[in-house]
Amino acid sequence: MMKEKVLILYHSGAGSTRTISELLEHELEDVLEIEAKHIDFNFNFSLLNSYDLLILGFPTYHCEPSRSMMDFIQKMPILKNNVKVCIFTTCGLYSGNALRIASKELIKKNIKLLDYFKFRSPASDGAIILSSSLKLMFEYEKSLKKHLNRMTDQIRNYKTLPAKNPPMYKTYVPLNNIAKYFGEKEYDKMKNNIHIVPERCTNCNLCVTNCERRCWTANEIMPIFVPDNCEFCLECIHKCPTRAIIFSEKMKDRPRFNKQFLTTKRKKSWPSRFNQYYKGKM
C-alpha cells in the first residue's frame, strides 16, 4: 500500500524551525512518505499539486511571519483544491498574528488549511542582543514535548481533519507595534552594521551558501555583506564556525545557536526518541 506524500517546506534562521521540521520528518516517516526541505525561491511550484499534505514552517519576527516565508507564499500559484496545508511557527516570546497572516495568504492560494501550531524556542535575536544571563532567551518551552506530540498526532490523522479558519486576531499586537516601530529602527542600525572580524574569518563561505536572500557574496579575502535584502534572521551570525560575523563589539563573544548549543539544550526538551534520532546528527 502506497504511503501518502507529505512535504515540509520551512524557512529557518538560527535553526529552531529547521530542527522542528526534521523532528516531524523523523517521527512521521513510518506512516508517510515525507521529506523536509528548506524553501528555495527557484522552487518548482507545480510539484506542490503532487503532494497529499503540505506543511509550512517559519520563524516569527516582530509578531509576523519571516519575510522569506511570506515572499515564498506570495510566489505560489493558485493550487488545486485537493492540496491540504498545516503550518507552524517558532518564536522567542510570542507569535503575535504570524499564524493568522500566513494562513490568510495561503487561503488565497485555494488551499485547505487544516491546523496551525506554535513552538516557543530560543530567541535568536535576544540571545545575542541582550544579556546572556537571561535564561528565557535560551530555553525551549516546557510544554514542547506535548506540542510536538499533538502536531504529529494531528498530521497522522490529517485525512479526518476539517478545514480550519485562520486564528483569531490577537488584540495585544497593536500594542506591540509601538515597540516594533522603535525596535525595527534599532534592528536596521544593527543590520547595517553587520561585518566580519578579519582575524577570525577563514573565508569558508558558509555565510554565502546559507543565505537564500543573497546578502553575502564571495570575495578573494573574505565575503562581502550587502544589507539591502537582509531580514535580520541572523543565520550568518549564529552559523559562522569562528564567530567572525558581528554587528557590535558587545555581542562579539556571546553564545551562538550552534551544534554544541542545540546538543546541550535538547537533552531537557526533546522526547527520548528524538534524542536518539539526533545522537549522531550534530
Q: Is residue 178 in a domain?
A: no
Task: Of 35-44, 53-62, 227-236, 252-261, give the lowest mean pLDDT range.
Answer: 252-261
Check whether residue 90 and residue 150 sit in a common domain. yes
In angstroms, the CA 96 to CA 147 distance is 18
Question: pLDDT of 101-139, one tens digit each?
Answer: 999 999 999 899 999 999 998 888 877 887 655 676 777
Provide the pLDDT for residue 180. Answer: 67
Is residue 71 within 8 Å of residue 65, measured between CB atoms?
no
Check whether residue 160 and residue 274 sit in a common domain. yes
Is residue 40 within 8 Å of residue 9, measured between CB atoms?
no
Strands 112-120 and 84-91: what pairing?
parallel
Check whether residue 55 and residue 138 sit in a common domain. yes
Read off the pLDDT of each residue in 33-56 and give the average, rounded to a whole number: 93
Question: pLDDT of 1-27, one tens digit each?
Answer: 678 999 999 999 888 899 899 889 988
Check whether residue 127 and residue 225 sit in a common domain. no
Q: What is the CATH number of the domain that holds 235?
A: 3.30.70.20
pLDDT at 202 over 80: yes
Check whether residue 129 and residue 236 sit in a common domain. no
Read off the pLDDT of each residue in 163-169 and give the average, rounded to a whole number: 92
Check whether residue 111 and residue 225 sit in a common domain. no
Check whether residue 94 and residue 218 sit in a common domain. no
Q: What is the CATH number of the domain that holds 60?
A: 3.40.50.360
Q: Is residue 271 in a domain?
A: yes
Check whether residue 147 and residue 190 sit in a common domain. no
Provide the pLDDT for residue 186. Answer: 82
Q: What is the mean pLDDT of the chain?
A: 87
Q: Is residue 11 in a domain?
A: yes
Provide the pLDDT for residue 266. Answer: 54
Read off the pLDDT of each residue in 176-202 and give the average, rounded to a whole number: 84
Check whether residue 28 and residue 154 sit in a common domain. yes
**Phi (first) and psi of residue 51, to 5 degrees:** -100, 145
Q: Is residue 86 in a domain?
A: yes
**Residue range of the domain that includes 213:** 183-258
Read off the pLDDT of each residue in 190-215 and give the average, rounded to a whole number: 95
Provide the pLDDT for residue 282. Answer: 42
Provide the pLDDT for residue 280. Answer: 46
Check whether residue 147 and residue 34 sit in a common domain. yes
In angstroms, the CA 201 to CA 210 distance is 16
* Structural element, H or E, at residue 268: helix 259-269
Provide the pLDDT for residue 183. Answer: 67
Check whether residue 131 and residue 237 sit in a common domain. no
Q: Is residue 160 in a domain?
A: yes
Q: Is residue 220 in a domain?
A: yes
Check whether residue 142 and residue 51 sit in a common domain. yes
DSSP per position, 114-179:
EEEEEEE---TTHHHHS-TT-GGGG---TTHHHHHHHHHHHHHTGGGPPP-PPPPPPTTHHHHHHH
Task: Of 72-76, 153-157, 169-173, give the lowest mean pLDDT range.
Answer: 169-173
